Amino acid sequence: MFKVKIDGIETEAAPETTILEVANRELVEIPTLCFNDNVEPRGACRICTVEVEIWGRKRLVTACNYPIRGDIVIDTKSEKVMKLRRLILEVLLARTPKSERIQELAKKYGVSQPRFTVEKTDDKCIVCGLCVQVCRDIVGVSALSLSERGILRKPETPFDEASSTCIGCGSCVYICPTDAVTMIDKDGKRFFPRWKTEFKLVKCESCDNLFMTDAQIKYLKKVMGKDDPCLHYCPNCLALFKK
C-alpha cells in the first residue's frame, strides 16, 4: 500500500489504483466527462486533470487513468488545475454552445463567455470517443470510428453513411455524456439521426411491448450460437418468469 494525500486527506491506496478511484472513495469531487466505468479510461477530455507531487516534483496528470505507483500528494484544486479546467471549458463551450452539460460545468467554474469563436451549431459532441469505445469494446461490432484530425475530428459511421454492422442497441446513446447521440423509437422503428440508421423493433412475446431491434436479436443469436428463449422476452417479463 502507498501513502496518499489528496486535498489534505491522508489515506492509502493499492498499486495501480487510479487517482479518480481514490478521490471517489474519499468523497473528493473531480469533474469528469469522458470517464465511464464500463470502458477503459483514456483521459480524452482532460477535465479531470489534477496536480500531483512525487519526490518533490509537481506536474499535471489526468485523474481517470493515472495509476498510483508510489507515495503521492494530490491537489485537485490548485491554481494551475483550476486555470486549465477553465480553459478546457472555454474550448468546449465554444465548440458545443448548446450542450447543457458543458453549460452546467462552465457556470460552476465561472466561465460565462469563451475567448474563442463560438461555433454556430446545435451539435453537442465533445469528441470524447466513448460511443466508439463502447461499440467496439463492449458491444463488439465496431460500427463507429473517429475520423478526420484536429478540429475536424468526429465520431461517425464508415463513409458517414448507414452502417451495415450497427445493431441499433443504443449503447452509444446511453454512454454519451452530453446527449449528442439520440435515439427515437416511433411507429415500431428505431431511428438514430446522427448515424443515419433505422431498425425494426421486435415485440416481447409475452407483453407485446417493443423492446429490441431485429438486428440485435440476429447478432445475439450469432454470438450465443443458438436461438435462446430469453431473446424473445423483454427484461420485465424475464424478471417475472424468474420469480
Q: What is the pLDDT of residue 142?
A: 95
**183-207: string of b/e by CB count within 10 Å (b at 16+)?**
beeeeeebbbebbebebebbebeee
145-176 confidence digits (pLDDT tens): 999 988 889 999 998 899 999 999 999 999 99
- Band (pLDDT 50/70/90 cuts) for residue 242 is confident
| Beta carbons within 10 angstroms of residue 104's beta carbon | 9
pTM reported for the whole predicted model: 0.91
CATH of domain 2-77: 3.10.20.740
Evaluate whether 173 touches 182 at the Cβ level (below 8 Å).
yes
| pLDDT for residue 150 | 86
Band the pLDDT of 16: cuts 50, 70, 90: very high
Tell the residue number behind the cell numbers 468546449, with chain if given.
Answer: 92
CB burial of residue 73 (10 Å; 0-12, 13-18, 19+) = middle
Pairing of strands 72-75, 2-6: parallel
User: Which cell is 108 given?
Assistant: 460552476
Record the cell numbers describing residue 214, joined without a space: 431485429
What does R_g of the chain's alpha carbons equal in angstroms?
21
What residues pair up with 67 in beta bridges, in sequence order?
Answer: 18
What single-letter DSSP state applies at residue 231?
Answer: G
Angle at 98 between CA 37 and CA 112, to 5 degrees: 95
Percent of the chain beyond pLDDT 70?
100
Q: How confident is the model at residue 243 (pLDDT cuts 50, 70, 90)?
A: low
User: Residue 121 pLDDT > 80, yes or no?
Assistant: yes
- Measured CA to CA, the distance from residue 131 to residue 16 in angstroms comes to 26
203-232 pLDDT per residue, tens: 999 999 999 999 999 999 999 999 998 899
- The arithmetic mean of pLDDT across residues 83-99, rounded, is 97
Q: Which three cell numbers stand for residue 43?
A: 483521459
Of the candidates 165, 203, 167, 207, the one whose C-alpha atom is nearest the C-alpha of residue 183 is 167
Cell for 42? 483514456
Q: What's the pLDDT tens digit per position in 31-69? A: 999 999 999 999 999 999 999 999 999 999 999 999 999
Domain with CATH 3.10.20.740 in the chain: 2-77
